């Protein structure tokens, strides 16, 4: 069936894979009709997809440094776009984003704008130039452009701080999904998740991660879009929800005006289980100040352009030209999911609060709501709660509480879709969290093995030895992440946003100025990375410990302060010290020309 | 001016234009979020709401492809384009 080179056959291979996955969904739904239990369906979905990823990971095994670090630099643009989209969209995007929009409306949607707008910066300021450079890792660029082990080491430190903050949240998410789908305790499920993650990346490095991420993208996008379209059609809201939900959006505004946002007393709120929230913000009205919105969006955009696990995906394209196009494809594939999240939030909210819909619960009697099957299930899972605060016996808008995850996880069931969809959603969430965790763990392990071990400690190491070190680090970092995740000390979304702020504090200006400002030198870059990271972290600690902050910079946008310090210190220190030498200046000139050999020669 | 300098001047010009468009749709319009939301936008959604759901996001996708094509043209003009596929 498949002849010749694997790369030439990619569309065929993934076409067959997609067909196989759709067939699997159909077999499962037939199984459901024939009486398969919901638990068995959940286990099948997660086990089947993880097994496929593991097989891809095994088939991609390699002993070559080029394949291990940059997938042999032969990933075609469209497929690299899919892999980047999976790399990018984490468990938080998949499970928590629609919930955030549902509860916080406009103020939260700054994240949508920020997490997409950042790609314009990636495409125009960085990706093509770093691809021309021919580096294996992001610190590789910093170390070669500015020179010296200290600058390289600082870049590894920033990368590790940002990526590690991010990865614990992702391992946490795989653990949550594995524990629900396989019905095992969270403390063990975290390690099941970790082993699945390592199966994809251990043997094949970047090559293995690339081809599993493409497979994971296909699963997660089907798992997200199918329920959105199905629910929209079932509710009669329109067959293409993205273009047809205007009436639903204005109906929600009408209901909000009718019910009003009643504020609950602190005493009443004590009853509500931790982590659940009520609807307190308007759905489509502007409910945040311009600066609150813009500062969050800006922080996320600059963070996007500094996160190494995304940047290194563009090192795998065959050419500079392909790197540019590939950024466009990445954003297109991300857009498919991000533009659907607000639609899911709209459908979910309307189906719950509209009394004229059969699924609506607001205005029904409390006892009636408490008797609904799905309410009981999700109440037991600690994701839904109602209470009769005013004692009138009917459920009011302010008396209904839900967890953020429930918007994605529970809406299919509320809308009356078959259980097979819930199994599919679990597989999608698992794919999203696994693919991001893989990219992050690989980014950290590669930076330490390539930049610290090979470039600084033992420059004469053989390829075989380097790859052993890389794999050992992968396992060590994975286990460290899983151990911290098992402690459950931070929430998923908060730590994701912090990772962006850390990355932009330390890396944004050293990377951008490395290409765009020839005068930038080693001393400046070291000052920029060090002072940026330290001042950003200090600001975060200050605000967390009761500091008032300034200029409206919050703990979610501390990167704006960190990167400003980074910029100023980098420019001042660069100008106070001598200009980079002629060889470095020539190197920068060469980076700006797309054709010709890469700066770091072939190994 | 050498060929390489001219190429870089043109590339910088394209960058400025790209960043200007990016600025308008990621930051500029949200300065007037409350006022713009009074207007009905495409498909009947409130305008600011539409930009945050679809508009800005879609414009970014188009902007990147437009930028990539323009940069390729500039590279070709100066003979700096690479051979090979995408």
Give tens-digit pLDDT for B31-83.
888 888 888 888 888 889 999 999 999 999 999 999 999 998 888 888 887 76
pLDDT at A135 over 50: yes
B7 touches chain A (CB under 8 A): yes
Instruction: Provide the pLDDT for residue A303.
Output: 93
Name the pLDDT band for B18 (thresholds 50, 70, 90).
Answer: very high
Contact B67 A124 (CB under 8 A): yes
Is the full-model pTM beyond 0.90? yes
Name the pLDDT band for A332 (thresholds 50, 70, 90).
Answer: very high
A106 touches chain B (CB under 8 A): yes
In this prediction, what percent of chain A has a pLDDT beyond 90? 24
Per mean pLDDT, which range of A151-165, A376-390, B51-65 is the poorest? A376-390
- Number of alpha carbons in the 13 Å side-chain half-sphere of residue A230: 17
Q: Rounded to the nearest 10 degrees, how much is the dihedral formed by the CA atoms of A39, A41, A43, A49?
A: -160
| Nearest residue in B to A98, CA atom | B53
Name the pLDDT band for A602 (thresholds 50, 70, 90).
Answer: very low
Q: Which CATH code for domain A7-264+274-350+417-591? A: 1.20.1730.10
Quote the minimal CA–CA distance from A210 to chain B in Å.
17
Contacts of A110 in chain B (CB under 8 A): 30, 52
Instruction: Provide the pLDDT for residue A475.
Output: 85
Condensed to tens digits (0 to 9), the pLDDT of residues A246-272 reads: 888 888 888 888 887 888 778 888 888
Instruction: Provide the pLDDT for residue A2.
Output: 53
Asked if residue A223 lies in contact with residue A45, where contact means CB atoms within 8 angstroms, the answer is: no
Instruction: Provide the pLDDT for residue A489.
Output: 63
Write out residues 51-80 of A within 8 Å (CB-CB) of B.
Answer: 76-77
Contacts of A123 in chain B (CB under 8 A): 64, 67-68
For an interface test with A, the pick among B8, B35, B38, B68 (most A C-beta atoms closer than 10 Å) comes out as: B68
Take residue B38 and report the two structure tokens written for it: 């009074």
Better pLDDT: A309 or A391: A309
Contacts of A346 in chain B (CB under 8 A): none
Take residue A515 and report the two structure tokens written for it: 């290409």
Instruction: Provide the pLDDT for residue A221.
Output: 94
User: Domain spans of chain B?
Assistant: 13-77
Contact A301 B26 (CB under 8 A): yes
Condensed to tens digits (0 to 9), the pLDDT of residues A99-119 reads: 889 988 888 899 999 999 999
Sign of the alpha-carbon torsion through A195, A197, A200, A204: negative
- Mean pLDDT of all residues in A373-382: 83
Q: Could you please report the per-residue DSSP string of A56-117?
A: HHHHT----HHHHHHGGG---HHHHHHHHHHHHS-HIIIIIHHHHHHHHTHHHHHHHHHHHH
Contact A593 B56 (CB under 8 A): no
Minimal CA–CA distance to A226: which of A364, A398, A427? A427
Contacts of B7 in chain A (CB under 8 A): 592-593
Query: Between chain A and chain B, how many beta carbons pairs sit less than 8 Å apart?
Result: 152
pLDDT at A603 over 50: no
- Mean pLDDT of all residues in A24-46: 88
Quote the minimal CA–CA distance from B1 to chain A in Å.
14
Name the pLDDT band for A491 (thresholds 50, 70, 90).
Answer: low
**Residue A458 CB coordination number (10 Å):** 13
Minimal CA–CA distance to A189: which of A180, A200, A197? A180
Instruction: Provide the pLDDT for residue A41.
Output: 87
Contacts of A76 in chain B (CB under 8 A): 85-86
Instruction: Provide the pLDDT for residue A36.
Output: 85
Contacts of A124 in chain B (CB under 8 A): 15, 18-19, 22, 67
DSSP B29: G
Condensed to tens digits (0 to 9), the pLDDT of residues A169-209 reads: 888 778 877 877 777 887 788 888 888 888 888 888 888 88
- Mean pLDDT of all residues in A370-390: 84
- Mean pLDDT of all residues in A25-53: 88
Closest partner residue to A339 among B57, B75, B84, by Cβ?
Answer: B57
Rg (CA), chain B: 18
A364 touches chain B (CB under 8 A): no
d(CA A284, CA A481): 38
A237 touches chain B (CB under 8 A): no
In the sheet that holds A276-277, the strands lie side by side as A276-277, A400-403, A384-386
Quote the minimal CA–CA distance from A116 to chain B in Å.
6
Check if the interface score ipTM surpasses 0.90: yes
Contacts of B53 in chain A (CB under 8 A): 109, 112, 339, 342-343
pLDDT at A493 over 70: no
Rg (CA), chain A: 25
Nearest 5 degrees, angle CA A6-CA A89-CA A428? 75
Better pLDDT: A64 or A82: A82
């Amino acid at each position: 069936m498949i002849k010749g080179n694997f790369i030439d056959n990619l569309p065929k291979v993934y076409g067959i894979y997609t067909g196989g996955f759709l067939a699997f969904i159909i077999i499962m739904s037939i199984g459901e009709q024939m009486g398969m239990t919901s638990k068995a369906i959940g286990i099948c979905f997660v086990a089947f997809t993880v097994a496929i990823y593991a097989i891809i990971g095994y088939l991609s095994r390699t002993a070559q440094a080029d394949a291990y670090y940059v997938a042999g630099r032969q990933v075609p643009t469209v497929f690299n776009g899919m892999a980047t989209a999976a790399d990018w969209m984490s468990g938080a995007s998949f499970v928590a984003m629609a919930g955030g929009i549902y509860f916080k409306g406009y103020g939260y949607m700054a994240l949508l704008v920020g997490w997409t707008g950042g790609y314009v910066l990636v495409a125009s300021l960085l990706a093509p130039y770093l691809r021309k450079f021919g580096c294996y890792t992001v610190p590789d660029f910093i170390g070669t452009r500015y020179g010296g082990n200290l600058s390289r080491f600082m870049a590894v430190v920033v990368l590790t701080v940002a990526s590690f903050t991010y990865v614990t949240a992702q391992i946490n998410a795989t653990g949550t999904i594995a524990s629900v789908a396989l019905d095992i305790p969270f403390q063990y499920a975290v390690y099941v998740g970790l082993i699945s993650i390592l199966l994809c990346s251990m043997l094949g490095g970047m090559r293995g991660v690339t081809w599993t991420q493409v497979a994971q993208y296909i699963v997660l996008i089907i798992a997200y879009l199918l329920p959105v379209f199905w629910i929209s059609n079932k509710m009669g809201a329109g067959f293409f929800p993205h273009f047809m939900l205007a009436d639903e959006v204005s109906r929600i505004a009408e209901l909000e005006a009718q019910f009003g946002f009643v504020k609950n007393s602190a005493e009443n709120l004590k009853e509500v289980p931790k982590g659940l929230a009520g609807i307190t913000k308007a759905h489509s009205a502007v409910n945040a100040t311009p600066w609150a919105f813009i500062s969050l969006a800006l922080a996320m955009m600059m963070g996007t352009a500094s996160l190494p696990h995304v940047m290194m995906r563009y090192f795998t394209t065959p050419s500079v030209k392909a790197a540019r196009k590939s950024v466009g494809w990445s954003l297109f594939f991300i857009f498919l999911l991000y533009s659907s999240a607000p639609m899911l939030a709209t459908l979910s909210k309307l189906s719950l609060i509209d009394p004229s819909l059969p699924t609506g619960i607001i205005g029904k009697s409390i006892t009636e709501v408490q008797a609904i099957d799905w309410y009981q299930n999700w109440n037991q899972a600690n994701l839904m709660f109602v209470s009769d605060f005013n004692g009138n016996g009917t459920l009011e808008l302010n008396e209904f509480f839900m967890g953020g995850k429930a918007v994605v996880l529970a809406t299919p069931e509320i809308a009356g879709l078959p259980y097979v969809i819930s199994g599919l959603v679990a597989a999608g969430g698992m794919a999203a969290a696994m693919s991001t965790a893989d990219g992050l763990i690989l980014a950290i392990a590669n930076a330490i093995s390539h930049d610290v071990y090979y470039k600084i400690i033992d420059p004469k190491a053989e390829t075989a030895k380097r790859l052993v070190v890389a794999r050992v680090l992968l396992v060590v970092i994975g286990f460290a992440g899983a151990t911290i995740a098992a402690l459950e000390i931070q929430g998923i979304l908060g730590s994701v946003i912090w990772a962006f702020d850390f990355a932009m504090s330390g890396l944004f200006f050293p990377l951008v100025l490395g290409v765009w400002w020839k005068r930038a030198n080693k001393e400046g870059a070291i000052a920029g990375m060090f002072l940026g990271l330290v001042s950003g972290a200090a600001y975060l600690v200050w605000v967390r410990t009761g500091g008032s902050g300034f200029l409206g910079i919050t703990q979610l946008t501390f990167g704006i302060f960190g990167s400003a310090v980074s910029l100023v210190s980098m420019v001042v220190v660069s100008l106070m010290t001598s200009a980079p030498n002629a060889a470095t200046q020539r190197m920068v000139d060469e980076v700006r020309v797309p054709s010709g050999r890469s700066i770091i020669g072939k190994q | 001016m050498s060929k390489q300098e001219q190429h870089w001047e043109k590339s910088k010009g394209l960058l400025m234009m790209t960043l200007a468009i990016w600025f308008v749709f990621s930051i500029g319009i949200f300065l007037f979020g409350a006022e713009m939301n009074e207007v009905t936008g495409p498909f009947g959604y409130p305008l600011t709401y539409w930009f945050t759901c679809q508009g800005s996001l879609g414009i970014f996708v188009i902007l990147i492809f437009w930028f990539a094509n323009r940069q390729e043209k500039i590279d070709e003009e100066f003979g700096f384009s690479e051979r090979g596929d995408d």
